[in-house]
Structure 1
Amino acid sequence: MFHDGFPNNLRDDVSKVVKLISQKTNNNVTIGVSEDIVDYFQNNYVINFPYRIYYIDNSDEFMHSLNEQQKMIVHCIYSRSCDGLVRQKHLNSLLLMDYDDWSIPYIVKICDEYVLDILEMTYEILKDQDTERIKNFCLQNNVSFCKSYHRMISYWNEYYRFKYDNFQQYVGRKLFRDCFGFSKSMERRKNGSL
């Protein structure tokens, strides 16, 4: 279930991590992962991972026993948690690491969601960094990235418009444009007018 979200050369590391993840779910939900899948294209292969996982976060019990790459895998997996605080905790840890390119889909995906604290945290960490690798990934996944941009806008419109009435200054817009490279030309390319 999680192996398809990472390059094949990480198969053993992913297997080790998956064995450590608790099978107990939040609020006794009867499924561990959602049926909805997120798909991206990266480095000539398709990766996909669950939109949400419902397993409780027991990573504090085993993180000390993992190498850096395995820790990145843990952070990526838990960035899909149904608990926003868990998503934020693991994304923060991931962004503060020297993260590999294969973790970029997880970083981008979490930013089209509704938790404003995650957008603010991500922007604060990335705004002064070289995000060219992220921009290249977003360009490679232009159609789904543009959908993510519009999804971010819809959450702003639904939940944050009255608090942040100037969309030009909204942190989600700044994150997608400054750090992820969204532009009108990407939108035109998505619609086939370039």
Structure 2
Amino acid sequence: MADDALVAAFPNQLASDVRVVLAVMPEAQIAPVSPFSVYVGDEVVAIPYRIYQDELPVEVARALTEAQQGILHCLYSPHSDGLVRQRHLEQIASSDEPWAVPFVVQLAGKYVLEILESIQRVLSDLLSKRSAQRLAYGDFIARNPGFFARTERRVVSYRSYYYRWKFLVFGTYPGCHLLELLRAAAADRTGRPWPRHTPSA
């Protein structure tokens, strides 16, 4: 069932809140697409690559608890409509909740330049070594090195395919700056330099 697939995108402790959110979301005509598995803490979750539900009316979303609104924004962040993705991403990118992090990192590996710029802008606390945000992102990357390496390679590929004419040097591409911040967070978390799968900045 589609609902079960989306419940699996979050740690077990959030299952009841996820079901509350899903109960008020419009029914999708197409099932969530291609979930990918990552660790959030010690649990494996399955994040959807795409969802297709229409957005909720604002007043319905506001009636949810703060945690449920965070879950809602996470679920809409891989939406099939890029404008919907960006709206909801901007609501969760500054979160230091570990369960929100994979939804943001997933979008760091996509081709939409405006979304990369939004992530970089909102993740301002990654610059602070003692911030909860830096700790959360560093921990996620440390637990999911293969996923992050694929994300790095996608950033390189999308820049080469779509934006080489605009960013002649990889180091000037917004995705490069974002990856540098994420690698630094992982290095802080593990106490060792983090492997690079991109050209040097």
TM band (smaller chain): 0.7 to 0.9
Q: 1:116 is aligned with what amino acid?
A: L
Q: What's the counterpart of residue 190 of structure 2? A: none
Q: Is the 8 A contact 1:59 1:74 kept in 2?
A: no
2:165 partner amino acid? F
Cα distance in 1 between the residues matched to 2:142 and 2:176:
17
RMSD across aligned positions (CA): 1.9
Q: Residue type matched to 1:72 in 2?
A: G
Check the 8 A contact 2:31/2:51 in 1, yes or no.
yes
Q: 1:154 to 1:59 in 2, by over 3 A?
A: farther
Note the C-alpha offset of 1:99.
4.0
Q: 1:104 to 1:185 in 2, by over 3 A?
A: closer
CA distance in 2, matches of 1:59, 1:140: 36
Contact 1:2–1:49, Cα closer than 8 Å, also in 2: yes
1:26-65 equivalences in 2 (<5 Å)? 30-34=29-33, 36-65=34-63
1:168 equivalenced with 2:175 (yes/no): no
Q: TM-score, normalised by structure 2?
A: 0.83
Q: How many residues align?
A: 181
Contact 1:127 1:178 in 2 (8 A): no
What SS does structure 1 have at the residue aligned with 2:38?
strand
Which SS does the other structure have where 1:82 is aligned? coil
- C-alpha distance in 2, partners of 1:126/1:59? 27
Amino acid aligned to 2:195: M
User: Which position in structure 2 is the counterpart of 1:112?
Assistant: 109
Match of 1:66 in 2: 64
State the partner residue of 1:186.
195
Q: Does structure 1 conserve the Cα–Cα contact (< 8 Å) formed by 2:110 and 2:154?
A: yes
Task: Give the fraction of aligned pairs with identical amino acids, expressed as a percent.
Answer: 31
Q: Out of 120, 137, 140, which is 1:137 matched to?
A: 140
User: Please, what TM-score do these two structures have when normalized by structure 1?
Assistant: 0.86
Match status 1:102 vs 2:105: no
1:8 paired residue among 12, 22, 39? 12
Cα distance in 2 for partners of 1:9, 1:132 equals 21
Look up the equivalent residue of 1:45 and give its one-letter code.
E
Matched, 1:157 2:160: yes
CA contact (8 A) 1:32 1:55 kept: no
Q: Which runs of 5+ in 1 are unaligned?
A: 25-29, 189-194
Moved over 3 A (4+): 127-130, 179-185
Give the 3-state SS of the residue equivalent to 2:8 in structure 1.
Answer: helix
Q: CA deviation at 1:139?
A: 1.7
Q: Give me the whole-angstrom Cα distance separating, in 1, the residues matched to 2:165 and 2:135.
A: 33
State whether residues 41 and 98 of structure 2, in contact with CA within 8 Å, keep that contact through their aligned partners in structure 1. no
Return the offset for 1:32.
Answer: 3.2
- AA partner of residue 23 (structure 2): K
SS at match of 1:107: helix
